Chains A and B, each alone.
Chain A
Amino acid sequence: MMIPDGIEDEEKWLAEGIAGIQHNAFYMHRALDANNLREVLKYSAQMLSELRTSKLSPHKYYELYMRAFDELRKLEMFFKDESRHGVSIVDLYELVQHAGNILPRLYLLCTVGSVYIKSKEAPAKDVLKDLVEMCLGVQHPIRGLFLRSYLAQISRDKLPDIGSEYKGDSDTVVDAVDFVLQNFVEMNKLWVRLKHQGPGRLREKLEKERSELRDLVGKNLHVLSQIEGVDLEMYKDTVLPRILEQIVNCKDDLAQYYLMDCIIQVFPDEYHLQTLETLLGACPLLQPTVDIKTVLSQLMDRLSNYAASSTDVLPEFLQVEAFAKLSSAIGRVIEAQVEMPIVGAITLYVSLLTFTLHVHPDRLDYVDQVLGAFVKKLSGKPKLEDSKAKKQVVALLSAPLEKYNDIVMALTLSNYPRVMDHLDNETNKVMAMVIIQSILKNTSCISTADQVEVLFELIKGLVKDLDGTDVEELDEEDFKEEQNSVARLIHMLYNDDPEEMLKIICAAKKNIMNGGPKRLPFTVPPLILSALGLIRRLQGQEGDLTGEEVPATPKNIFQILNQAIGTLTTVPSPELALRLYLECAEAANDCDLEPVAYEFFTQAFVLYEEEITDSKAQVTAIHLIIGTLQRMNVFGVENRDTLTHKATGYSAKLLKKPDQCRAVYACSHLFWVDDLDGIKDGERVLLCLKRALRIANAAQQMVNVTRGSSGPVTLFVEILNKYLYFFEKGNPQITSAAIQALIELITTEMKSDSTVPEAVSDPFFASTLRYIQFQKQKGGAMSEKYDSIKV
């Protein structure tokens, strides 16, 4: 209950204070209207006495202060006009000092002092010096701060700066600087002292309140930065050392942090660059609790931006050896602040890295140095746990990628993988993804096997199971996305030179082979396809003399591929492996390597026999096999027979009749390749089709038995289409009579009562008939062929 009461009371006290100010201001206005100096001084002093309260928090005190401030403006107008009060400014300056209470006295003195400087009856520097010294009388932190803030306010436009009308003969910029610095030092002392006010239990609240006052102090630095006469030399010799002296000596973390930040923000970057040593030298002297990393980061960010602003300034950076200085300062700070959490250190390295990327984009060694320093800091420590720290490391490692848009650059940094070693698995993966994304985004090619090795070292978190990965935790979708990215990455490994490309493929293969059953199905296919691409390229250079010594021959590559696909069968992922075998077989066909192609087909059939048990998968597989086999032209009669025999055999052994039927009629194409020198065995085509018809019949009957109605005639229509195809291609075994019979069969089937009208087969049949009609009427040789078919 204590604190709510306190707040209520505070409201009351503020209201009372405001009422007091208004009351006295009223009489002061009357006196002002009457030009009665005596009364003016009396009531203004009484009004200002309200500011003597100790009961208000800084926030509320500020409200009160602003009320008084407004009134003081009116007072100043009055003082300025000697005709109204008849007293010379010199006498007025004395007169206001007769007030018994110090706070009203000094507010009045500052107000008159302002007029005094304007009157130019005394040098500005003398008046300012007097004011800033007299203000020493107010040692109460809040009251003192506001009083000095008032002084700063009224003096701002009256400093004897270069080009200022108040710069007299004897006044120099030094006087202006001295004045502001002195006021700054005193204000900071008061501000720091505020920390020790009040009981401990309210410490936190008080610190917050204190923080609200910081801008009063910081304003002085702003004023200093606005003084035109403060050139680099003066900043270097006077201003900065004195500010830093105060910052270091005040031994207060809040003030130190804030003021360091202030310096960095208010003074020009060029000055920072030229005084880097001094500024950085102060850092290790600050309190250990000061958030120095943020300060340094700010500084480096600013310098980075400065460097980015114009290339003209870059020589300056080199001239002052900015990188070396910052780098060593960071080292010292990290060393000095033993307590600093690792995330702090990382933040610093990130900033330094950003800096060097901006300022010295050509100095990769700097980047590596930064990473190296970071590795040193991490060495001997457990892997990073803190999520913020992890984020920062990702930022650290991403920065060079973003800057150079070139992963190859990162691959040359020896410390890059070392940093990654310190990441936990999860972050490692995140980083690996960043790297991959960067490569994909920039479509940068990884063109040497060495780079591939380094790259896979970097992304090993994605490529294989790391120790301690809890498989349970893996999110299926994330995993898929990761692996798809890796798959895409594999396509970015490329070199025009086949030798190197082969090395790349081998390196990639070596790395992905350890991926385990979950990853291989994602990573093997792109590898295979990439290798097949290489094979096709080699094939294009067939004319070249390729000696036996050269490893990059299709044959060699096929061996590698065979091995790679083999791993998939153990995964097991037989369907995928089968597809890949067929791909390879086809490639081998194109290379005219019969034994190789045969070997791949063998593997495919073995898989079909041993691994593919699901009937749907079998259907797909057999169609793939048939399709591929049909295109093969490398095989001699014997091999071909063996393979086609196998294919037709397996087709007829599928579980479902319709599947059997379709596979079998598909097999018919194996015996009729519509090429110039393709096989054209009309007999066996017909055999296949007839067999298909028998199976279709059987299927029809099975449906009849089980459901009491005829099944769809779709299969017949499909077979009819095959007949038509081969009929047109000129297979002598396919006669118009056979077609005619098939049409009639279908027509009969469709008319039979037991047949359920069917949505698919009816229009299919109808359009097939329409096609025949069309061919008949089209004219020419084809029409004659069709002539005998009646529809």
Chain B
Amino acid sequence: MVPLFQSQENIIGEVLVEPTQGKKFEHNGVKIELLGQIELYFDRGNFYDFTSLVRELDVPGELYERKTYQFEFSTVEMPHESYNGINVRLRYILKVTIGRNYISNIVECQDFVVRNYTPSPSINNSIKMEVGIEDCLHIEFEYGKSKYHLKDVIIGKIYFLLVRIKIKNMELEIRRRESTGSGPNTYVETETLAKFELMDGAPVRGESIPIRLFLSPYELTPTYRNINNKFSVKYYLNLVFVDEEDRRYFKQQEITVYRLLES
């Protein structure tokens, strides 16, 4: 269990320091940092701090007994959500450092999670497109929206204009594409999160097949675009036709996923 925050929140707390019973404890000062870090796995060990705030809790001195420090980070800007991907991790931590001479500092970390909510987008166009393989298959498909919140339902339909191949079935896949790095060092990972059969059997010209896909059962995150120039997470709807010889035909469309701010 970790605490959950969102951007602009005040992060208030206390740090408790207790020396070993009956011993004097000498220190070079106590501080707490709030860090937002991006960790790329292929660049192990290197953290990119996109946020770093510090509060000095104590000046150098001695401690004889337990002491409590109050701290507060007010209206902290935390633009990115916590994310735990395949090649990348975005995390937020509170880090307390007690400085010492000659020997290494005492460091304690506490993770917390950030989630940011967005209101319903004012513009949310449908995705509508006519595609085809010449003289084999012509379809027109429509997804009601281009932006979906995490508990949303994808409503749409596929209209068959021409069917000359023997279709066995049709699926709608939700795919997540995580890309990290930049330039020649770009790493892309694609995962299929959902395989949802839309149609069984071969339609004929003129058939219109409904789509209704509930997103709630799948573990999606919002779409992340170019987070700190380090990584992106994007979602795609992939419409797949499988013919009787198990050949696959598909058409992929990006959708935007967001975390809805409940009003």
Q: Name A's B-contacting residues (CB within 8 A).
A: 52, 94, 97-98, 100-103, 105, 133-134, 136-141, 143-144, 189, 193
SS class, residues of chain A in contact with chain B: helix
One of B169, B199, B200, B212 near A97 (C-beta < 8 A)? B212
Q: Are B198 and A102 in contact (CB under 8 A)?
A: yes
Does B204 belong to the interface (CB within 8 Å)?
yes
Q: Are A143 and B200 in contact (CB under 8 A)?
A: yes
Instruction: Report how far A228 CA is from B194 CA in the complex, Å.
Output: 45
Does B197 belong to the interface (CB within 8 Å)?
yes
Q: Are A100 and B195 in contact (CB under 8 A)?
A: yes
Most B CB atoms within 10 A — which of A97, A102, A134? A102
Known contacts: A100-B195, A102-B199, A102-B200. The answer to whether A139 contacts B209 by CB under 8 A is yes
Given contacts A139-B209, A143-B201, 18 further A-B contacts (CB under 8 A): A52-B200, A97-B212, A97-B214, A100-B195, A102-B198, A102-B200, A103-B200, A105-B197, A136-B207, A136-B208, A137-B197, A138-B200, A139-B199, A139-B200, A139-B201, A139-B207, A144-B200, A193-B204
Q: Are A101 and B214 in contact (CB under 8 A)?
A: no
Does B36 belong to the interface (CB within 8 Å)?
no
Does B222 belong to the interface (CB within 8 Å)?
no
The contact size tier of chain B is: 20 to 34
Q: Are A136 and B217 in contact (CB under 8 A)?
A: no
Instruction: Report how far A134 CA is from B207 CA in the complex, Å.
Output: 12
Does B121 belong to the interface (CB within 8 Å)?
no
One of A97, A98, A133, A141 near B201 (C-beta < 8 A)? A141
Which residues on the A side are within 8 Å of B195 (C-beta)? 100
Q: Are B199 and A137 in contact (CB under 8 A)?
A: yes
18 sampled A-B residue pairs with Cβ under 8 A: A97-B212, A98-B216, A100-B194, A102-B198, A102-B200, A136-B207, A137-B209, A138-B201, A139-B201, A139-B202, A139-B203, A139-B204, A139-B207, A139-B209, A140-B200, A140-B201, A141-B201, A144-B200
Does B210 belong to the interface (CB within 8 Å)?
yes
CB distance from B165 to the nearest CB of A (A): 13
Known contacts: A139-B200, A140-B200. The answer to whether A94 contacts B207 by CB under 8 A is no
Instruction: Report how far A101 CA is from B197 CA in the complex, Å.
Output: 5
Which residues on the A side are within 8 Å of B73 (C-beta)? none
Does B224 belong to the interface (CB within 8 Å)?
no
CB distance from B158 to the nearest CB of A (A): 10
Which residues on the A side are within 8 Å of B197 (C-beta)? 100-102, 105, 137
Which residues on the B side are within 8 Å of A105 (C-beta)? 197
Q: Are B210 and A98 in contact (CB under 8 A)?
A: no
Instruction: Report how far A94 CA is from B196 CA in the complex, Å.
Output: 15
Which residues 165-207 in B have Cβ within 8 Å of A in the complex?
169, 194-204, 207
Which residues on the A side are within 8 Å of B216 (C-beta)? 98
One of A52, A94, A133 near B210 (C-beta < 8 A)? A133
Q: Are A137 and B207 in contact (CB under 8 A)?
A: no
Which residues on the A side are within 8 Å of B214 (C-beta)? 94, 97-98
Q: Are B209 and A136 in contact (CB under 8 A)?
A: yes
Instruction: Report how far A140 CA is from B244 CA in the complex, Å.
Output: 13
Which residues on the B side are within 8 Å of A140 (C-beta)? 200-202
Instruction: Report how far A105 CA is from B169 CA in the complex, Å.
Output: 15
Which residues on the A side are within 8 Å of B200 (C-beta)? 52, 102-103, 137-140, 143-144
CB distance from B213 to the nearest CB of A (A): 8
Instruction: Report how far A105 CA is from B210 CA in the complex, Å.
Output: 14
Which residues on the A side are within 8 Å of B199 (C-beta)? 102, 137-139
Q: Name B's A-contacting residues (CB within 8 A).
A: 169, 194-204, 207-210, 212, 214, 216-217
Instruction: Report how far A203 CA is from B227 CA in the complex, Å.
Output: 61
Instruction: Report how far A643 CA is from B30 CA in the complex, Å.
Output: 172
Most A CB atoms within 10 A — which of B197, B207, B210? B197
Instruction: Report how far A97 CA is from B196 CA in the complex, Å.
Output: 10
CB distance from B199 to the nearest CB of A (A): 5
Which partner residue on chain A sits nearest B218 by CB separation?
Answer: A98
CB distance from B121 to the nearest CB of A (A): 23
Instruction: Report how far A101 CA is from B169 CA in the complex, Å.
Output: 10
Which partner residue on chain B sits nearest A104 by CB separation?
Answer: B197
Instruction: Report how far A133 CA is from B208 CA in the complex, Å.
Output: 10
Instruction: Report how far A30 CA is from B210 CA in the complex, Å.
Output: 34
Instruction: Report how far A429 CA is from B196 CA in the complex, Å.
Output: 74
Which residues on the B side are within 8 Å of A134 (C-beta)? 210, 212
Most A CB atoms within 10 A — which of B196, B199, B201, B212? B201
Which partner residue on chain B sits nearest A98 by CB separation?
Answer: B217
CB distance from B118 to the nearest CB of A (A): 24
Instruction: Report how far A139 CA is from B202 CA in the complex, Å.
Output: 6
The 8 A-B residue pairs with the shortest CB-CB distance, nearest first, are A140-B201, A139-B201, A102-B197, A139-B203, A98-B217, A138-B200, A101-B197, A102-B200
Which residues on the A side are within 8 Å of B194 (C-beta)? 100
Which residues on the B side are within 8 Å of A94 (C-beta)? 214
Which partner residue on chain B sits nearest A197 by CB separation?
Answer: B202
Which residues on the B side are within 8 Å of A103 (C-beta)? 200
Which partner residue on chain B sits nearest A94 by CB separation?
Answer: B214
Which partner residue on chain A sits nearest B197 by CB separation?
Answer: A102
Most A CB atoms within 10 A — which of B195, B198, B208, B209? B209
CB distance from B108 to the nearest CB of A (A): 40
CB distance from A111 to the nearest CB of B (A): 17
Which residues on the B side are within 8 Å of A137 (C-beta)? 197-200, 209-210
Instruction: Report how far A137 CA is from B216 CA in the complex, Å.
Output: 21
Which partner residue on chain A sits nearest B213 by CB separation?
Answer: A97
Which residues on the A side are within 8 Å of B202 (C-beta)? 139-140
Which partner residue on chain B sits nearest A134 by CB separation?
Answer: B210
CB distance from B203 to the nearest CB of A (A): 4
Instruction: Report how far A105 CA is from B197 CA in the complex, Å.
Output: 9
Instruction: Report how far A134 CA is from B212 CA in the complex, Å.
Output: 9
Instruction: Report how far A463 CA is from B245 CA in the complex, Å.
Output: 75
Instruction: Report how far A136 CA is from B212 CA in the complex, Å.
Output: 12
Which residues on the B side are within 8 Å of A133 (C-beta)? 210
CB distance from B206 to the nearest CB of A (A): 10
Most B CB atoms within 10 A — which of A105, A133, A139, A140? A139
CB distance from B48 to the nearest CB of A (A): 38
Which partner residue on chain B sits nearest A140 by CB separation?
Answer: B201
Which partner residue on chain A sits nearest B206 by CB separation?
Answer: A189
Which residues on the B side are within 8 Å of A98 (C-beta)? 214, 216-217
CB distance from A466 to the nearest CB of B (A): 59
Which partner residue on chain A sits nearest B212 by CB separation?
Answer: A97
CB distance from A587 to the nearest CB of B (A): 88
Which residues on the A side are within 8 Å of B207 (C-beta)? 136, 139
Instruction: Report how far A548 CA is from B180 CA in the complex, Å.
Output: 136
CB distance from A230 to the nearest CB of B (A): 27
Most A CB atoms within 10 A — which of B196, B197, B200, B212? B200
Instruction: Report how far A696 CA is from B202 CA in the complex, Å.
Output: 109
Instruction: Report how far A502 CA is from B214 CA in the complex, Å.
Output: 99
Known contacts: A138-B201, A139-B203, A193-B204. The answer to whether A100 contacts B210 by CB under 8 A is no
CB distance from A69 to the nearest CB of B (A): 18
Most B CB atoms within 10 A — which of A94, A134, A136? A136
Instruction: Report how far A360 CA is from B110 CA in the complex, Å.
Output: 100
Instruction: Report how far A141 CA is from B207 CA in the complex, Å.
Output: 13
Which residues on the A side are within 8 Å of B196 (C-beta)? 100
Instruction: Report how far A105 CA is from B198 CA in the complex, Å.
Output: 10
Which partner residue on chain B sits nearest A52 by CB separation?
Answer: B200
Which residues on the B side are within 8 Å of A97 (C-beta)? 212, 214
CB distance from A200 to the nearest CB of B (A): 15
CB distance from B195 to the nearest CB of A (A): 6
